[in-house]
Amino acid sequence: MGMSTRLATGGRLLNRARAVEFNFNGKRLTGYEGDTLASALLANNQVLVGRSFKYHRPRGIVASGAEEPNALVNLGKGGRFEPNQRATTTELFEGLSATSQNHWPSLEYDVGVLNNYVARLLPAGFYYKTFMAPRAAWKHVFEPIIRQSAGLGKAPKDRDADRYEHFHAHVDILIVGGGIAGLQAARTAAASGARVLLVEQTANWGGRAPADGSVVDGIAAEEWITKAVEDLEKMDNVHLRTRCMGAGVYDHGYALAYERVADHLPANGQPRHRLWRIRARQIVTATGAIERPLSFAGNDIPGVMLASAVRDYVANFGVSPGDRTVVVTNNDDAYRTAIALKEAGLDVPAILDARPEATGPLARRARDLGIRVEPGKGIAKVIGGKRVTSVKICAQSGEGAALEEIPCEAVAMSGGWSPVVHLWSHCGGKLTWDETNAHFRPDPDRAPTNQDGEGFVKTAGAASGEVSTANCLKDADAAGRAAAKAAGFKPEPGDAATAEAEEVQPMLPVWVMPQGAGIAKRMKMWLDYQNDVKVSDVQLAAREGFESVEHAKRYTTLGMATDQGKLSNINGLAVLSQSLNSEIPKVGTTTFRPPYTPISMGSIGGEARGELFQPVRQTPIHDWHQANGAYFEPVGHWRRPYCYRRDGESTEQAVQREVKNTRQALGLLDASTLGKIIVRGPDAGRFLDMLYTNMMSNLAVGKCRYGLMCSENGFLIDDGVVARLDDDTWLCHTTTGGADRIHGWMEDWLQCEWWDWQVYTANVTEQFAQIAVVGPNARKLLEKLGGMDVSKEALPFMQWADGTIGGFSTRVFRISFSGELSYEIAVPAGQGRAFWDALVAGGEEFGLMAYGTECLHILRAEKGFIMIGDETDGTIIPQDLGLDWAISKKKDDYLGKRAQARSHMTDPNRWKLVGLETLDGAVIPDGAYAVGEGRNANGQRNTIGRITSSYYSPTLDRGIAMGLVDHGPNRMGEVIEFPTLGAGSQPIRARIVDPVFYDKAGEKQNV
Amino acid sequence: MSDAISALSGAHATGYVTVTEAGLRGMITLRGDLGATKLKAAVKKLIGADVPLVRQNTVNADRGVAWMSPDELLLMVPHAEAESCVAALAKALTGTHHLVANVSDARAVFRVEGAAVREVLAKISPADLSPAGFAPGQVCRTRLAQVAGAFWLTDDETAEVVCFRSVAAYVFGLLEHSSRTGSEVEYS
């Protein structure tokens, strides 16, 4: 068997002085610094690198860059394990460890390859056809098999060991691609003074030109590139970035670039990836072109590679793909590969040129080097299993009768070049079909447009569809100039680099080789290597009516693999158009969507992981909670204590203790999270009368009033206590989760609807720590600390006053959400902790205990107070909750009034709030439904109500609940049933009662 | 009255720039007609500076005034003076439609120092932090990763970053992570 191996000399990207050890499937191998994993594998004769998705066919490296469909590996270990990494874009580093994917039990012997032998039974769309019936087969036969074989790489098991970040950059011109076109465009654009960012996805500048042997400005491309980069680096207005791929182009000149900062230097303290979020006035895509495979039988056998890739491996990495390489082409460019191989001392048994004659200068040069050139010929069939052993050649114009068999280790194929139009297309750039080069290229007259309707993306070089070096440079200069001008700069009269014009023999479109190949051959012609889509599959899709290219794609899975059809799309749609007897441009392309190649989830998340995953809001008293056994619950982005567990206590026990203690002695609640919005101005009263359902304009200075807010649709959206601070100023308390939302709601009405009303608002939620001192001993504690008069006479229920307590400057509100004697005391946040500590110390003799949100919930439920988010869910109006008393009849209007008058809202059959008392004291599950007589049209039992809040009440020692019940308030005393889940479980029976379970007269809070 | 404390008690981190919680700062929200003579005079008297133009920020020793919106300013004074300044402003603006609020304790302030201050901020804010886009003397209300914030440069190598007090630990964490040695972008 032939070998792929390292050549004794050559390899412009290698540092042969530094050997690098790595590991593939457990084998220790050696490469050089500068290698990619792919080049190092080839240098070690590891051509077979994986198995295909469906048929588990052996797969070899086919390309040398981002377009590689086959060489996907599981890379790294533990916290640095990542599947589906392309070997061709993975730089080799010391200790790299990779395993091949999608095989069992081993790469060489794979059981799944059996699929290959039944391929005739697994045609395009077989998923849709096969699994229709019988139904039982899905569960017991198909799904287990598919689960076993689905997926390419393995899912990582460990937490990602690396860190990631974002970076925002604002530039005049972003240039994507650091080949000679990108460099020239950057030179031209930068000369105008514009801020230029040039990004290149690989570690090296210059793109294909050095490997192609291009000559620029009379010197070797490599030399010109070095100088161009040096010149650009000296300019203050230019920033250059390698290992940074332009991933996507979006509206308004927004672009994403994916920088692989430390993939090649793992665990060195750098972020692994950095996602660049770029705002650019203009974007130039100099993204080059990708070579197309040819569709001949056996074109997927390891050793069949793109001609350009073979050239790259020889020139860049000093790697021979095999001693003997047959070149097969429909264009001049592949001759460069034959010449490069020959000049490296390797054998090229034949160049098979599908064109009837080969007359270009490169063909002449190949003949001069003694290479056999066979015009009008193609490959009838590649022979080999896990490796190419020979090719049978035939006439391109025939049906594939073999004329000769040529032994070889590698096949270098070229079906022409397709410009990389992805970034151009992401944001709506249109394409045009180029007959001469048989490819889609960007149509400069239909560029993606920005906010002004002007094009904001230009293309440069091969990405524009240019083929020769000379034209690429000319086009790049023009693109740089146009971009600078569009960005508002004056391009300098230029001295763009030039190259000699080349004589080229036109290429010949070849979509199937040979032209008249029969079905047996077409079933072995691969279009999509990763997803196993063949010429015959696309033809079948067309016959079965999947005529739209988007339908054909989904039916066959063409282009749906991780490479997103970079090699297969054009060939596939050409086959489709032939099958439909239609023009290629009429069939069109599928949609190009970002990112250009897959980017890591880590880079998308950026810094947002671990502690920084989400902002956690903390009150000034947070540390005390943490030190005192708080069991936290999220409330909005806040963390609030649910309860404080003491030694040996369960959560439930802690909650019960807190409830009893607050009712019987003294509780302390951190209420700092409640929203506090100042509303001030001559029209503030009128404004609040519109926002709340009740009157706020007539609230006396010094007093507090509970109010409800509804949306325009009448639904209850927030509640809270409003205090009038002075003639012009009100302070509105909102729910914890409502502070920002209600502040925004207020500003929305003021800025957009009532812009002529004189009202200002300010959200001062975080200026204050607010502490509720609750329970029969509340006043005793405050009087002990001393200061202002907090007696019933000086500060009655539902009033507020400023003053000092214990030396702290405070504002005290006599409001209660618990039904007990209660003071809510606000101090500046910076003194919140000190004030809390003073209360805790002073309260010890009165039995003070802090309590959490669950205790708060139970206290309010015992009092029948509603909770936004429990009793409301966006479909509830105040009238449903018996809150008619809080709706002003005097006002002409308030937000929601009109909606609440609509027939559905006034329907007497709306479920209404009641209390529910279980007959046996049990606690009804939250959200449970009550059932009535009969069944509905779906055969389900009719429901007559549901639970909105349900608790065990330590005060009453029984389950209590609130719920919405059909005609509930008219059915006091009736018993209804709540079925429960579980076999044999009995329904819970509950009596409809008043929702106020505790101190209905309100005597305890008003003392 | 107890001494007020800032959210993070002067937390500090050293990476390729330094991040320090700057302690208490007196901050006053003033909403009103920014073109009105009375308001302009009151600001001048309190801060010793004119009402700033759009996106401008004036620092005058331990005082400053920043433009927040077409009808809002942020006044900065020593923390201990905030309450008396609020009272003085309210008095000076009597009879005009305005709102003055002490928001000193609602905020946390960080000082970020080092040559790379711009790029550290650019990791968490979408604002244009290039010298052409943002200069000392300007203020930027923006987003710091997932929360609201604002910052300004006091010189080319020093920024002050303001956020809400409740997310002080989060913003400190963002700045610490972004300035960790090894994550230099070297973008200039």
Mean pLDDT of A433-450: 96
Q: How far is CA A550 from the centre of its chain?
A: 23
Contact B5 A758 (CB under 8 A): no
Q: Is the pLDDT of residue A494 over 80?
A: no
Cα separation, A583 vs A646, whole angstroms: 78
Contact A766 B107 (CB under 8 A): yes
DSSP string, A835-903: HHHHHHHHHGGGTEEE--HHHHHHHHHHTT---TTTT-SSS--GGGGT-GGGS-SS-S--TTHHHHTSH
What is the least distance, in Å, from the CA of A742 to any CA of chain B? Answer: 17
Cβ-based contacts of A803 with chain B (< 8 Å)? none
Contact A766 B164 (CB under 8 A): yes
DSSP string, A3-30: --EE-SS--TT-EEEEEEEEEETTEEEE
Cα separation, B152 vs A357, whole angstroms: 70
Per-residue pLDDT reduced to its tens digit, B65-119? 999 999 999 999 999 999 999 999 999 999 999 999 999 999 999 999 999 999 9
Domain extents in chain A: 1-157, 164-290+418-486, 293-415, 525-587, 617-898, 906-1007
* Token pair listed for A119: 């391929």
pLDDT the model gives residue A142: 65
Per-residue pLDDT reduced to its tens digit, A283-324? 999 999 999 999 999 999 999 999 999 999 999 999 999 999
Q: How much is the mean pLDDT over chain A?
A: 94
DSSP string, A30-83: EEEET-BHHHHHHHTT--EEEE-TTT--EEE---SSTT-SS-EEEES-GGG-EE
What is the least distance, in Å, from the CA of A68 to any CA of chain B? Answer: 29
Find, in chain A, the residue whose alpha carbon is nearest to that of B103.
A767
Pairing of strands A800-805, A410-414: unpaired
Cβ-based contacts of B91 with chain A (< 8 Å)? none
Contact B123 A682 (CB under 8 A): no
| Residues of A (417-456) whose Cβ lies below 8 Å from B | none
A170 → closest Cβ in B133, B169, B178: B133
Cα separation, A708 vs A884, whole angstroms: 11
* Token pair listed for B40: 């302009």
pLDDT the model gives residue B102: 98
Pairing of strands B26-31, A958-965: unpaired
User: CA of B39: how far to CAs of A678, B33, B104, in Å?
Assistant: 20, 7, 20
- Answer whether A169 touches B (CB < 8 Å): yes
Closest CA to A947 of A973, A921, A929, A971: A929
Q: Is the pLDDT of residue A561 over 90?
A: no
Q: Cα dihedral sign for A782, A788, A793, A797?
A: negative
Q: Tell the CATH superfamily of the A293-415 domain.
A: FAD/NAD(P)-binding domain (3.50.50.60)
Cβ-based contacts of B165 with chain A (< 8 Å)? 620, 766, 829
Mean pLDDT of A587-595: 91
Q: How far is CA A578 from the centre of its chain?
A: 37
Closest CA to A497 of A475, A465, A517: A475
User: CA of A378: how far to CAs of A350, A391, A436, A710, in Å?
Assistant: 11, 10, 21, 76
DSSP string, B90-125: HHHTTTS--EEEE-GGGEEEEEEESTTHHHHHHTT-
Q: Is the pLDDT of residue A1 over 50?
A: no
Closest CA to A554 of A536, A538, A567: A538
Contact B2 A835 (CB under 8 A): yes
* Token pair listed for B131: 């010298």
- Measured CA angle at A606 (ends A604, A611), to 5 deg: 130
Domains A1-157 and A293-415 share a fold: no
* Token pair listed for A735: 């729910």
Cα separation, A191 vs A238, whole angstroms: 10
Give 3-state DSSP helix, strand, coil % of chain A, rounded to 5. 30, 30, 45
| Residues of A (739-798) whose Cβ lies below 8 Å from B | 758, 760-762, 764-768
Find, in chain B, the residue whose alpha carbon is nearest to that of A805.
B1
Cβ-based contacts of A765 with chain B (< 8 Å)? 106
Closest CA to A51 of A762, A460, A624, A530: A530
Closest CA to A553 of A131, A125, A119: A125
Find, in chain A, the residue whose alpha carbon is nearest to that of B72.
A760
Instruction: Give me the helix-helix angle, A180-191 and A469-486, nearest 10°.
Output: 30
User: CA of B3: how far to CAs of A383, A612, A804, A838, in Å?
Assistant: 86, 30, 15, 13
Q: Is the pLDDT of residue A121 over 70?
A: no
- Answer whether A678 touches B (CB < 8 Å): yes
pLDDT the model gives residue B3: 85
Per-residue pLDDT reduced to its tens digit, A905-938? 999 999 999 999 999 999 999 999 999 999 999 9
Please tell me the least confidently modeled range out of A523-537, A599-613, A824-838, B21-35. A523-537
Cβ-based contacts of B125 with chain A (< 8 Å)? 168
Q: Provide CATH code, domain A525-587.
A: 1.10.10.1100
Cα separation, A447 vs A464, whole angstroms: 12
Find, in chain B, the residue whose alpha carbon is nearest to that of A757.
B97
Per-residue pLDDT reduced to its tens digit, A773-807? 999 999 999 999 999 999 999 999 999 999 999 99
What is the least distance, in Å, from the CA of A624 to any CA of chain B? Answer: 13
Q: What is the DSSP letter of A179?
A: B
Q: Is the pLDDT of residue A497 over 80?
A: yes
**Residue corresponding to tokens 């809202």:** A905
Cβ-based contacts of B2 with chain A (< 8 Å)? 807-808, 831, 834-835, 838
Q: How much is the mean pLDDT over chain B?
A: 96
Closest CA to A183 of A11, A191, A491, A276: A191
Cα separation, A4 vs A44, whole angstroms: 7
Cα separation, A97 vs A103, whole angstroms: 18
Per-residue pLDDT reduced to its tens digit, B130-141? 999 999 999 999
Q: Tell the CATH superfamily of the A617-898 domain.
A: Probable tRNA modification gtpase trme; domain 1 (3.30.1360.120)
B105 → closest Cβ in A195, A279, A828: A828
User: CA of A732: how far to CAs of A692, A728, A873, A881, in Å?
Assistant: 10, 13, 22, 22
A650: how many CB neighbours lie within 10 A of its CB? 10
Per-residue pLDDT reduced to its tens digit, A947-979? 999 999 999 999 999 999 999 999 999 999 999
Cα separation, A450 vs A456, whole angstroms: 6
What is the least distance, in Å, from the CA of B89 to any CA of chain A? Answer: 15
Q: Is the pLDDT of residue A123 over 80?
A: no
Per-residue pLDDT reduced to its tens digit, A874-906? 999 999 999 999 999 989 999 999 999 999 999
User: CA of A982: how far to CAs of A904, A925, A989, in Å?
Assistant: 36, 13, 16
Give 3-state DSSP helix, strand, coil % of chain B, rounded to 5. 25, 35, 40
Rg over alpha carbons for chain A, rounded to the nearest Å, is 38
pLDDT the model gives residue B131: 94
- Answer whether A569 touches B (CB < 8 Å): no
Cβ-based contacts of B34 with chain A (< 8 Å)? none
* Token pair listed for A21: 């050890």
Q: Provide CATH code, domain A1-157.
A: 3.10.20.440
Task: Identify any residues that bridge with A197 across adjacent strands, giving them in sequence order.
Answer: A174, A239
| High-pLDDT (> 90) share of chain A, % | 88
pLDDT the model gives residue A530: 87
pLDDT the model gives residue A132: 58
Phi, psi for A580 (deg, rounded to 5): -90, 0
| Band of residue A493 on the pLDDT scale cut at 50, 70, 90 | confident
Instruction: Give me the helix-helix angle, A361-368 and A334-343, nearest 10°.
Output: 20
Q: What is the DSSP letter of A478?
A: H
**Contacting residues for A831 by C-beta, under 8 A, at least 6 apart:** A769, A808, B1, B2, B3, B4, B5, B105
**Contacting residues for A619 by C-beta, under 8 A, at least 6 apart:** A638, A640, A670, A672, A673, A769, A832, B166
Q: Is the pLDDT of residue A108 over 80?
A: no
On whether the A164-290+418-486 domain is CATH 3.50.50.60, my answer is: yes
Per-residue pLDDT reduced to its tens digit, A461-491? 999 999 999 999 999 999 999 999 999 999 9
Cα separation, B35 vs B42, whole angstroms: 12
CATH of region A906-1007, choose from 2.40.128.50, 2.40.30.110, 3.90.1210.10, 3.40.50.720: 2.40.30.110
Contact A830 B145 (CB under 8 A): no
Phi, psi for A585 (deg, rounded to 5): -60, -25
> What ipTM is given for this predicted complex?
0.97
Q: Is the pLDDT of residue A124 over 80?
A: no
Per-residue pLDDT reduced to its tens digit, A3-31? 889 999 999 999 999 999 999 999 999 99
Cα separation, A652 vs A650, whole angstroms: 5
DSSP string, A368-413: HTT--EEETEEEEEEEESSSEEEEEEEETTSS----EEEE-SEEEE
Residue ranges of domains in chain B, CATH in brackets: 12-23+107-178 (3.30.1360.120), 26-105 (3.30.70.1520)
Per-residue pLDDT reduced to its tens digit, A364-423? 999 999 999 999 999 999 999 999 999 999 999 999 999 999 999 999 999 999 999 999
Cα separation, B39 vs B87, whole angstroms: 14
